[in-house]
């Protein structure tokens, strides 16, 4: 069974849900092949924003990551013009994906949609289809035209896909109205947290309060981060670790407050940063959008075994972990400072979950098992 995966993220060194699941499936069974469709590059938008314009890398084979050679192909298209100018941009994208799949000899692949634009492929092909919902982008703060487009795409996906998978109970409730959905939460690389790591060279000296995750205005409360950084002055550092998707003005607020922006690090380096943080924080905005999430950092923070302070966002507010303190934005800074005062030296031995024998229960391998079951149902449907 070949797969065509339309992803919201590129296949890079910062692994998210799609990469963990796809890699896990291919490591188990070298027979299937995967065409992993990455987000298109946007040279015009990059140039206007002061970035470096480049065209997409097109179709190419991926090697490494323990994946059998020839099993994984990556496709990075190019978006030359905005939709308001080029009304056919999505149709052309869909045709490129179909051509690439056919060029690889994929006669009847299963379509795995994470990027809602995959709705174009549901309409253009007879491929069996799976919609894997990881964020409710219909609830994000977007221009009306973009929200309407996403809503229309999701309507197609929820009504026509053979299977719908969601990562959180909130998504199960909202997307499961009128149809069956399968809940497959996120997970963690348990083996990476079961060993002690040396302190990363990039961490500043002294106490560290650390946030790990993509820096995105839809999630991160930038003003709260700035208040926390100011409160930590002379006592420690607020460190943000992860890919930077902030607007320039948001980034400036953080830099002026003295926040240390480490940028993205390969996923293999994240456990060391978390283990050597004095306090881990989740200064997220509490919105309908963030309430739809199942944060991967929930599992990573638990595996690291360090004290956590979080705003009352999904996952953390319902945690029964004694190491997790939940505080609203008004009390967040005081709660973090109090936790920092109470904590001892970072414990770089086995985490609390490891000691309790519970870490394996949230390992990505369990999630791969669950996704394999869904895909087997799809495969059986095609054989019937």
| Comparison of pLDDT for 229 and 42, the residue scoring more | 229
Q: What is the CATH number of the domain that holds 259?
A: 3.40.50.2000
* pLDDT of amino acid 31: 84
The mean pLDDT of 186-196, rounded to a whole number, is 92
* pLDDT of amino acid 206: 93
Structure tokens at 74: 């990556």
* pLDDT of amino acid 351: 45
Output the pTM of the full model.
0.91
**Are the C-beta atoms of 78 and 44 separated by less than 8 Å?**
no
- Residues 174 and 202 grouped into a single domain: no
| DSSP string for 239-282 | EEES-B---HHHHHHHHHTT-EEEE---GGGHHHHHHT-SEEEE
pLDDT over 50 (residue 348): no
- Residues 83 and 231 grouped into a single domain: no
Domain count, the chain: 2
- Residues 220 and 118 grouped into a single domain: no
pLDDT over 90 (residue 297): yes
**% of the chain beyond a pLDDT of 90:** 77
- Residues 259 and 169 grouped into a single domain: no
Please enumerate in sequence order all residues whose Cβ is within 8 A of that of 362, keeping only pairs 6 or more positions apart, or say none.
185, 187, 188, 190, 299, 302, 303, 353
pLDDT over 70 (residue 345): no
Domain extent for 163:
3-187+363-383
- Among 12-26, 50-64, 174-188, 332-346, where is mean pLDDT lowest? 332-346
The mean pLDDT of 162-167, rounded to a whole number, is 96
- Residues 201 and 304 grouped into a single domain: yes
The mean pLDDT of 70-77, rounded to a whole number, is 96
The mean pLDDT of 13-17, rounded to a whole number, is 94
- Residues 240 and 309 grouped into a single domain: yes
- Residues 139 and 275 grouped into a single domain: no
- Residues 251 and 373 grouped into a single domain: no
- Residues 331 and 217 grouped into a single domain: yes
- Residues 59 and 133 grouped into a single domain: yes
* pLDDT of amino acid 51: 77
């Amino acid at each position: 069974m070949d797969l065509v995966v339309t992803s919201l993220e590129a296949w890079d060194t910062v692994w998210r849900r799609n990469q963990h699941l796809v890699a896990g499936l291919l490591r188990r069974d070298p027979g299937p092949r995967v065409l992993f469709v990455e987000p298109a590059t946007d040279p015009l938008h990059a140039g206007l924003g002061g970035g470096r314009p480049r065209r997409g890398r097109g179709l190419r084979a991926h090697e490494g990551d323990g994946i059998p050679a020839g099993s994984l192909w990556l496709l990075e298209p190019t978006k030359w013009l905005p939709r308001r100018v080029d009304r056919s941009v999505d149709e052309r994208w869909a045709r490129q994906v179909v051509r690439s799949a056919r060029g690889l000899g994929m006669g009847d692949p299963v379509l795995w949609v994470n990027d809602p634009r995959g709705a174009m492929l549901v309409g253009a092909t007879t491929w069996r289809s799976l919609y894997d919902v990881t964020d409710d982008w219909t609830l994000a703060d977007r221009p009306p035209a973009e929200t309407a487009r996403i809503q229309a795409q999701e309507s197609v996906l929820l009504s026509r896909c053979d299977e719908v998978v969601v990562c959180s109970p909130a998504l199960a409730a909202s997307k499961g109205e009128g149809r069956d959905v399968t809940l497959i939460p996120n997970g963690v690389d348990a083996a990476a947290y079961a060993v002690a790591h040396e302190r990363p060279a990039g961490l500043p000296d002294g106490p560290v309060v650390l946030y790990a995750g993509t820096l995105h205005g839809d999630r991160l409360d930038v003003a709260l981060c700035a208040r926390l950084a100011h409160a930590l002055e002379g006592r420690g550092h607020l460190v943000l670790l992860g890919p930077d998707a902030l607007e320039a003005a948001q980034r400036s607020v953080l830099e002026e407050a003295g926040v240390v922006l480490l940028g993205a690090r390969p996923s293999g380096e994240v456990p060391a940063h978390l283990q050597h943080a004095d306090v881990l924080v989740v200064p997220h905005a509490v919105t309908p959008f963030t309430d739809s999430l199942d944060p991967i950092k929930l599992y990573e923070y638990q595996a690291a075994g360090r004290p956590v302070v979080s705003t009352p966002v999904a996952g953390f507010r319902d945690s029964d972990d004694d190491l997790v303190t939940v505080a609203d934005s008004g009390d967040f800074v005081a709660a973090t400072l109090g936790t920092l005062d109470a904590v001892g030296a970072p414990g770089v031995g086995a985490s609390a979950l490891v000691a309790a024998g519970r870490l394996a229960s949230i390992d990505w391998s369990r999630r791969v098992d669950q996704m394999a079951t869904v895909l087997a149902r799809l495969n059986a449907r095609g054989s019937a």
